[in-house]
Amino acid sequence: MNILFATPECAPYVKTGGLGDVSAALPATLASLGHDVHVLMPAYQGMKVAGEMGEGVDLAPWGPWPAAQLVPVKVGSGVTMLLLTCAGLYQRPGGPYVDASGRDYHDNALRFGLLARVAALVGTPHSPLRGWVADVVHANDWPCGLAPLYLAQSRLVSPHEPTAASVLTIHNLAFQGTFDMATADPLGIPGHWRGIDGVEFWGQLSMLKAGIQFADAVTTVSPTYAREIQAPEHGIGFDGILRARSSRLSGILNGIDPKVWDPAKDVLLPHRFSRGRLKGKAACKAALQARLGLQLEAGAMLFAVVSRITPQKGIDLVLENLPQLLSSGAQLVVLGQGDPALQQALRDAAAQHPKQVAVTLGFDEGLAHLIEAGADAFLMPSRFEPCGLNQMYSQAYGTPPIVAPVGGLLDSVTDASADPENGTGFVMAGAHGEGLADALERAQRAWREPKQWKRIQANGMARHFGWEDSARRYLEVYRAAAIEAGRGIAAAL
């Protein structure tokens, strides 16, 4: 199959969260299964992609967009990166979505509208890539949400031409890509698709809704989240349309890339370790404590958070439980960035307890690996979590996770109190402060029983979170979407 994977971020080039990791690992796994995978993403400022560079192609100006270029680079994983450039749109200081001061770029509708429009074009006979047309366009999150709409538009305009099947993956329903409806004009969205059955969401245009409405298949990143988003509590206004499309909605759990996240081979660690040889893990703990200025104390239980600092991630619940944690002699390490008020509260806690609390604000891949390896237990008290990757990384690194009973966390962690034989971590009774307090207490009790703790660690390290099974499930979805696309074309005729 010719698969076009369209994404706003991809590790190791540009990553703000889990989508970056998924955009690296899933396409590479699909390629290893024998498919021809192209990953389309913007070429942001300072991005370096090493590989075999192909001939660039020019895209003529269209609608509000000036001329753009697509440069293919075949990278080591067997995937072809397709880098999109367009005068001034992507080459800016700041992140993929926000400027250097953290504000959304004012022209995100056009920046990502172009990404989606190019993705769709590659799925038609007018593909600008000489001789390469996608059979399926796999769009990820709101920045690519218009791609299925543009493909549906091609089918309407030229029903005799073949078009790629479209698949939308929702990595986080909370990011809905809403813009003023006036942007529908420059984006070329036909008038009859601007209403409630089209892109309209509370009077605005939602790119995520466009994807949900027009994709031939919709997926999200865990089976539990796929169920949760069809009910009001986690549906954030989309539960109705998701229920309406439930026959084409499925949840496929993310995996982890063992080339990046394996404590026995991790080049970012000062000491390596494995299930049978945990000595290196103790050395990583000491290295972490030394690096962050914490008390060098093997007997202090070390809890860790590596996360976007947002209300989604339940960081406030960690702060609420901090006094009890500190009075028990435990330590806390936090790495992350985001919400200014939460950052300040964390900074204050670290200033008050420098030997017990260390807070690093920023993005640091190397430190994230050291924390996964050096901590005793990992905290993810998320209010919602589509999948979550850190709880999987921490299980692989012998760092049992303490998680809220939501989304992908439920699908990937087995509670050690409920199932002592097979437990890999601790599942909170609810995504609230008392739920975390109780789970922390259970974890601390287990940690004081080395035999019991070792079993939980070993269970987690033995878990297989490979991408191969999930990649095969995506292939099934692609095939089902192709059948659906055929129906769409037949209907247009």
Rg, Å, the chain Cα set: 23
Sequence letter at residue 290: A
Query: Nearest approach, Cβ of 337 to ligand ADP (angstroms)?
Result: 5
Pick 17 or 338: Cβ nearer ligand GLC: 17
Residue closest to ligand GLC (Cβ)? 18
Q: Which is nearer to ligand GLC, 388 or 488 (CB)?
A: 388
Nearer to ligand ADP, 33 or 47 (CB): 47
Q: Which residue has the tokens 């949900």?
A: 212
Residue 221 contact, options ligand GLC, ligand ADP, none, Cβ 5-8 Å cut-off depending on partner type: ligand GLC
If the CB atoms of residues 15 and 271 are measured against ligand GLC, the closer one turns out to be 15
Lookup: tokens for 363: 């993005």
Compute the least distance from the CB of residue 304 to ligand ADP, in Å: 11
CA–CA distance, 138 with 474 (Å, rounded to integer): 10
Q: What are phi and psi of 53, to 5 degrees?
A: -80, 130
22/189 with CB nearer ligand GLC: 22
Binding site for ligand GLC (CB under 6 A): 17-19, 22, 171-172, 221, 254, 385-389, 408
364 binds, among ligand GLC, ligand ADP, none (CB under 5 to 8 A by kind): ligand ADP
Footprint of ligand ADP (CB under 6 A): 17-18, 21, 306-308, 335-337, 363-365, 368, 387-390
Please provide the DSSP assignment of 28-80 as one string.
HHHHHTT-EEEEEEE--TT----SEE---EEE--BTTB--EEEEEEE-TTSPE
Binding partner selected for residue 335 from ligand ADP, ligand GLC, none, CB under the kind-specific 5 to 8 Å limit: ligand ADP
CB of 394 to ligand ADP, least distance (A): 10
**Residue showing the smallest CB distance to ligand ADP in the complex:** 18
Spell 250-275 as b/e; 16+ CB within 10 A means b: bbbbbbbbeebbebeebeebebbbeb
Distances (CA, A) of 177 to 37, 97, 156: 26, 11, 25
107 contact, one of ligand ADP, ligand GLC, none, CB 5-8 Å limit per kind: none
Distance between CA 125 and CA 159 in Å, rounded? 12
Whole-angstrom Cα distance, residue 96 to residue 91? 10
- The backbone region for 185, taken as left when phi is positive above 0, alpha when psi lies in -120 to 50, beta otherwise, is alpha
363 contact, one of ligand ADP, ligand GLC, none, CB 5-8 Å limit per kind: ligand ADP
Q: Between residues 175 and 447, which has the closer beta carbon with respect to ligand GLC?
A: 175
Q: Tokens for 477?
A: 């979805």
Alpha helix positions (H), 296-339: 315-327
- Min dist CB 319 to ligand ADP, Å, is 17
On the 0-12 / 13-18 / 19+ scale of CB atoms within 10 A, 437 is middle
336 binds, among ligand ADP, ligand GLC, none (CB under 5 to 8 A by kind): ligand ADP
Question: Crossing angle of helices 207-214/146-157, nearest 10°?
Answer: 50
Of residues 44 and 65, the one with the C-beta less far from ligand ADP? 44
**Smallest distance from the beta carbon of 383 to ligand GLC, in angstroms?**
11
The size of the chain, in residues, is 493
Please state the closest distance from residue 223 (CB atom) to ligand ADP, in A.
Answer: 16
Nearer residue to ligand GLC within complex by CB, 150 or 465: 465
Nearest distance, CB of residue 422 and ligand ADP, angstroms: 23
Closest distance to ligand GLC from the beta carbon of 388 (Å): 4
